[in-house]
Chain A
Amino acid sequence: MQLTNRSKEVSNKQMTLAEKMYLPAIAQGLAITIKHFFGKKVTVPYPEVKRYLGPVFRGHHILKRDEEGRERCTACGLCAVACPAEAISMVAAERKKGEENLYREEKYAAVYEINMLRCIFCGLCEEACPKQAVYLRHDKLVPIFTERDQVIYGKDELVEKMNDRYIRTNPDAQATPTEPSFSRSAT
């Protein structure tokens, strides 16, 4: 199988005097490296410049609200079951009268916690969810934590803010944004 057409056959033929002098070959090599020296660098200096990671990147978890601002989660526990790292735990509660504008279903999660030390960001919770409630954002990473009590994320950090709604870009090929320039940070 031929993978590229750049392969060269190796031979052990006698070198000519010009090749034995090394100097022409050395000059060629030096020309190549100096071209690289002044060329554009491929490194992305990470904390300053963040690359766009695509619409399928799995980052920070989010509990979605519906278009009227009601929490979608119904505390069925399928995400907790699907989670291979057992990072998710929740306490269900029944919706009271007058709370219809807060919770979409009759049952909701009173407590919803994700242990970020356990989470492996596999995205199985997102796949398991029948209500399209839990998502892994493609545009935000879980921030670095330095203390143990910062590790467990409750509903206050997970539920979507109404002034900062999360919309995943349409993953269809046409709509997928192409590789942005390195200077543009992730959106």
Chain B
Amino acid sequence: MNLTELIIKGILILVLFGVTLLIAMYSTWAERKVAGFIQIRFGPNRAGPGGILQPLADAGKMFFKEDFIPSQANKWLFILGPCLAILTALMSSAVIPFGESIKYDDLVIPVQGIEINIGILYVFGVVSLGVYGLMVGGWASNNKFSLLGAIRAASQNISYEIGFGLSIIAILMMTGSLSIRAIVEQQHGFAWNLFNQPLGFIIFLTCAFAECNRTPFDLPECETELVGGYHTEYSSMKLGFYLFAEYINMFVSSAIISSLYFGGYNYPGMDWVRETLTGSLGAATGHNLATLIGTLVLFGKIFFFIFFFMWVRWTLPRFRYDQLMNLGWKTFIPLSILNVVVTGFGLLFDIKYATWAIVVVMVILALVSSARAPKPAVQPQRT
């Protein structure tokens, strides 16, 4: 690796890191804006035009609050908790391919933190480490509500990790690679995995909600039952880090969902765009510009999913804990195993859209069941 490559790679990593932080920062603003709009309000609109400076104001507030450590808490673990949470959240974006490649002289540098051939496994490993942040923080607080929140977070994440992992096995079977870049490259153009794996997508999406501790699965911080959950005792920027880690996780899981199921930086007509640009602007510039367009497309998809996360959050109420566990263990795990089996049959007999069979059967069953359900008796209007 020569110096130029090193510099370009370094700049690239710093830019990706900065963009991750920036998006997480503005997700807090966007969340409040979306919440406002969905509740027919305006959301924050005082700090700067449209409230655009609100994240800075929030960060300033967080920094100037008293940084309190309870006297009975385990001091070092108490500090370690939020550090772990934000560390693991930031680490997982390293393997996501944000674009094709940059051409400089005769160098070809992929737009990605690092390309490793077990990319998706790395993401899963880091995401499951994220539980430690919550567990350590909740345990070190020496507060029963924090501990309950931490236990909930741990059991929820572990339960949903199984469904999460099983749902992408179907994709791994189809692509034959663990590298996220390889998975994205196989979805070239408009051959997105979504069209082959509709059920897997829905399971993956729901599990991603659960992994990010977002509503409807935000049991770990359920205010009505647990005060503030695992971050009850936290204040100042330590609390800020926990909240920030949640938003970074949201960004990363949006990026992974769009890479795995929505084709990443692929979009219909990308070959034509590339040919036109390289034809008119020269090989290197045209290629870089085409890469940039692909990256923008990927970010468009990511923003859509971040919006979707918020949209769902402000629509659905929270699940009860037993409902959560039932959904994870009794619905998603069997369904994703079925999905794997059907995908296997599809690969064996070379049927491309085999998993649609599950969807069709489920829709038919649902229609039959609602048709056969006893009609509610017409209630006479009380006067």
**B38 contacts chain A at the CB level, 8 A cutoff:** yes
* Cβ 8 A contact of A42, one of B34, B40, B202: B40
A11 — which chain B residues lie within 8 A by C-beta? Answer: 376
* Cβ 8 A contact of A5, one of B314, B373, B374, B381: B381
Among A5, A16, A19, A43, chain B packs the most CB atoms within 10 A around the CB of: A16
**A148 contacts chain B at the CB level, 8 A cutoff:** no
B381 — which chain A residues lie within 8 A by C-beta? Answer: 5
Bound Cα distance A13, B370 (Å): 13
Chain A: number of interface residues, binned into ranges: 20 to 34
Q: B38 near A37 (CB under 8 angstroms)?
A: yes
Shortest beta-carbon distance from A9 to chain B in Å: 6
**B41 contacts chain A at the CB level, 8 A cutoff:** yes
A32 — which chain B residues lie within 8 A by C-beta? Answer: 315
B40 — which chain A residues lie within 8 A by C-beta? Answer: 36, 39-43
**A130 contacts chain B at the CB level, 8 A cutoff:** no
CB-nearest residue of chain B relative to A25?
B316
Contact A18/B369 with A9-B379, A26-B316, A30-B312 known, Cβ cut-off 8 Å: yes
B379 — which chain A residues lie within 8 A by C-beta? Answer: 9
Q: B362 near A36 (CB under 8 angstroms)?
A: no
- Which residues between 17 and 37 of chain A lie within 8 Å of chain B, taking CB atoms? 17-19, 21, 23-24, 26, 29-30, 32-34, 36-37
B365 — which chain A residues lie within 8 A by C-beta? Answer: 17
Q: A30 near B311 (CB under 8 angstroms)?
A: yes
* Cβ 8 A contact of A30, one of B39, B315, B366, B373: B315
Among B38, B379, B382, chain A packs the most CB atoms within 10 A around the CB of: B38
Q: A43 near B366 (CB under 8 angstroms)?
A: no
**B155 contacts chain A at the CB level, 8 A cutoff:** no
Contact A41/B42 with A11-B376, A34-B311 known, Cβ cut-off 8 Å: yes
**B117 contacts chain A at the CB level, 8 A cutoff:** no
Q: Interface code B20-57, partner A: CB below 8 Å = 1, 0 otherwise?
A: 00000000000000100111111001000000000000
**A174 contacts chain B at the CB level, 8 A cutoff:** no
Bound Cα distance A34, B315 (Å): 9
Bound Cα distance A26, B206 (Å): 12
**B11 contacts chain A at the CB level, 8 A cutoff:** no
* Cβ 8 A contact of B367, one of A18, A23, A29, A38: A18
Shortest beta-carbon distance from B105 to chain A in Å: 48
CB-nearest residue of chain A relative to B45?
A45
Contact A33/B311 with A16-B370, A26-B316 known, Cβ cut-off 8 Å: yes
A17 — which chain B residues lie within 8 A by C-beta? Answer: 365-366, 368-370
Contact A45/B42 with A16-B366, A16-B373 known, Cβ cut-off 8 Å: yes
Q: B362 near A21 (CB under 8 angstroms)?
A: yes
Bound Cα distance A138, B368 (Å): 64
Bound Cα distance A17, B40 (Å): 33
Q: A41 near B41 (CB under 8 angstroms)?
A: yes
Bound Cα distance A170, B119 (Å): 75
Q: A33 near B314 (CB under 8 angstroms)?
A: yes
Q: B370 near A19 (CB under 8 angstroms)?
A: yes
Bound Cα distance A39, B41 (Å): 10
**A2 contacts chain B at the CB level, 8 A cutoff:** yes
User: What are 17 sample pairs from A and B whose C-beta atoms fall under 8 A apart?
Assistant: A11-B376, A16-B369, A16-B370, A18-B367, A33-B38, A33-B311, A33-B315, A34-B38, A34-B311, A36-B37, A36-B39, A37-B37, A38-B37, A39-B40, A41-B40, A41-B42, A42-B40
- 5 nearest CB pairs, A to B: A18-B366, A17-B369, A18-B370, A16-B369, A16-B373
